[in-house]
Chains A and B, each alone.
Chain A
């Protein structure tokens, strides 16, 4: 059947709740309304108070989920929007991420924090942050971000079943992306990147909202006779070093595509890891296409911010195809 990512997430929640009574869904507007993106649509009708609204307080939501996970439940909580999750950050960084370590494994927190994130939907301020780096930088969390319909279903099921806390990042602009899929579907497990398009000349490493951009760029490049491989990370933590390195060693060139600001971001980590592992296979420095290092721009400007196909292709062109270095990063005397 043809299904959107939003519907696949909804189906994953429904199936998990049908199979396991201890799975609960709660947060802001997730009950009767079905969530502002309708990801929890119909769950309150089917499961009663196993899908319920809470007071509007994110630290309280995550903190209560910690207690419920300590006491026999598998809570899934929704943060409504990326930037609205920040009040919960202390709970996430100090407790969710550390509880297992602080108790030497005695206390597990099987919980999922769903975070609709990133932009491209014309959202007003505070509604379009790419906040994945905060979570990926916090040991003890798993950080997952699906880019396909099948992954949306399968990775959310895996997140709910996982014994560790998972921050589940849902790219808002992909909620309506559709694909043919037959549910239930099981895709590759956490820590496995997928090659979405095979290629031989360069590797585009992408995740979440950047995956369709990378694929579109690869299709356009093919028309110009350049063969780009696209690797979809799927999970940022755990990270699939081997799949990324295998691809880059094969192609010898790498561009990381991410919507988040680049400085100190996940894209920087990827570039560093590729450089560490693939230096001797590289024909050019690893380059990045990311959002600018600015607060997420308003709707009238976001098209200049978001990494698009043109910027990806321009960056691919800078990968020293004729042994010419990227002039942007040369000191003046080198450039002459």
Chain B
């Protein structure tokens, strides 16, 4: 009991201001072409092991193909909507690879790629975006919360899950995915504050992709960086080149393990870019230049990782072909399984509102059944 109580309390010595602030520049190991970044841009972080990077590469290739397939399915009317994360593969895959199976992931609607990487069946992961009301997978079994649509409102949930685990003396970590727009929401700030006060093992990963639909980052914040927002709450902040898979893996792994070891919450801002429009319904020509998109395409996380791994002799043509073939097979499977029209049992409308339907819901279910029987 005493041990658990000690676990719940913040350390007696609080971190100094400087320890809370992020690095002056985003952490990076690679330059834009996958060569070594100049100087000590990777700071104190350790280069991830080649085997982990090879796994990340295969998962990123698969993730991008999945993302393209989902976008295509939307154009065919098979998905109601799809917010693409193309260009954010290093963050999507890095977040998942930094976690253990028993850790929790709290995704948003733009993180379907991460769900697939987490091992959730792709067809299940797309359930919500297909037009259903439910998330399609079992959050308890997969340790993955339902994709959250109201911005940042899932962040306090991650704090609660992590704090609950810590109270029981478990070493579970929760990682919550947020966008740059989400950092303006009150729940983001309350979650940071609660995580710090209760010393909850939470990693906040902000995928700063430059835009909240059409609104640029300059309209979200006047802070030096989004990672700076941690310091005011006593949360350590870090920023990373979100298109450098080595840096993302290194920073997130350190953050997750630090939280697991009792170091408290960590806020990581990943600088990345949304290559596609917000969703299929968006027209990004109204708010950003084509040149800007092209600039970011040249910092492609998969190309950078591929170039790096090849330069290290860690990736062969055969490996690349194998990754692409696996991705094609995966996409073909998704395509085939989402070809059928989704069906919905009207009785399901009433089935899960409460553990047992109220008399009013039983009555209304009966009325709907009568209406359908006519």
Contact = CB atoms under 8 A, between A and B. Distances in A.
Interface of A: 48-49, 54-55, 57, 59-60, 62-73, 87, 90-91, 94-95, 99-108, 139-140, 142, 162-164, 191, 237-239, 241-242
Nearest to B195: A64
Contact of A63 (B133, B134, B164, B187): B187
Contacts of A49: 5, 8
Given A60-B194, A71-B160, A191-B358, 4 more contacts: A49-B8, A67-B163, A103-B135, A104-B351
Given A49-B5, A55-B190, A55-B197, A102 B146 contact: yes
Interface stretch (B150-158, B269-277, B318-326): B150-158
Nearest to A53: B197
Given A57-B193, A103-B134, A238-B359, A64 B354 contact: no
A60 B360 contact: no
B333 interface: no
Interface residues of B, number: 45
B353 A63 contact: no
A49 B174 CA distance: 22
Contact of A71 (B134, B164, B351): B164
A68 B133 CA distance: 23
Contacts of B165: 71
Given A102-B146, A238-B359, A64 B133 contact: no
Contacts of A164: 354-355
A34 to B, nearest CB: 20
Contact of A106 (B139, B154, B186, B358): B139
B168 A72 contact: yes
Contacts of B352: 100-101, 103-105
Interface centre among B141, B174, B354 (most CB of A within 10 A): B354
B140 A107 contact: yes
B223 to A, nearest CB: 20
A137 to B, nearest CB: 13
Interface in B103-143: 133-135, 138-141
Interface string B335-353: 0000000000000100111
Contacts of B164: 67-68, 70-73
B161 interface: yes
Contact of B156 (A59, A99, A191): A59
Nearest to B363: A241
Nearest to A108: B355
A16 to B, nearest CB: 17
A66 B139 CA distance: 14
Contacts, number: 143
Most B C-beta atoms less than 10 A away, residue of A69, A107, A163, A241: A107
B177 interface: no
A239 B357 CA distance: 12
B159 interface: yes
B191 interface: yes
B205 interface: no
Given A48-B5, A55-B190, A71-B164, A63 B153 contact: yes
Contacts of A91: 153, 156, 187
A228 B360 CA distance: 27
Interface centre among B174, B351, B358 (most CB of A within 10 A): B358
B163 A64 contact: yes
A163 B156 contact: no
A70 B190 CA distance: 19
B156 A100 contact: no
B355 A60 contact: no
Of the candidates A90, A95, A163, the one having the most CB atoms from chain B within 10 angstroms of its own CB is A95
A241 B157 contact: no
B148 to A, nearest CB: 8
A64 B194 contact: yes
Among A62, A68, A237, A242, max chain B CB count under 10 A is at A68
B133 to A, nearest CB: 7
Given A49-B8, A94-B150, A68 B160 contact: yes
B162 interface: yes
A237 B135 CA distance: 26
Contacts of B140: 70, 106-107
In the A-B complex, the 5 residue pairs with the closest CB atoms: A67-B160, A63-B156, A60-B190, A71-B164, A238-B358
9 contacts: A57-B193, A63-B155, A66-B156, A70-B160, A70-B161, A73-B167, A101-B133, A105-B355, A239-B358
Contacts of A139: 353
Contacts of A103: 134-135, 138-139, 146, 352
A71 B165 CA distance: 7
A101 B361 CA distance: 14
Contacts of B168: 72
Nearest to B149: A94
Nearest to A190: B358
A105 B351 contact: yes
A100 B354 contact: yes
Nearest to A87: B186
B138 A140 contact: no
Nearest to A140: B353
Contact of B360 (A57, A66, A73, A238): A238
Contacts of B351: 104-105
Given A49-B8, A91-B153, A191 B193 contact: no
B187 A60 contact: yes
Contacts of B186: 59, 87
B233 to A, nearest CB: 10
A64 B355 contact: no
A238 B357 CA distance: 9
Contacts of A108: 355
Contacts of B156: 59-60, 62-64, 66-67, 91
Given A90-B153, A94-B150, A241 B8 contact: no
A62 B190 CA distance: 11
A164 B133 CA distance: 19
Contacts of B145: 70
Interface in B269-293: none
B147 to A, nearest CB: 9
A237 B239 CA distance: 47
A164 B164 CA distance: 19
A69 B194 contact: no
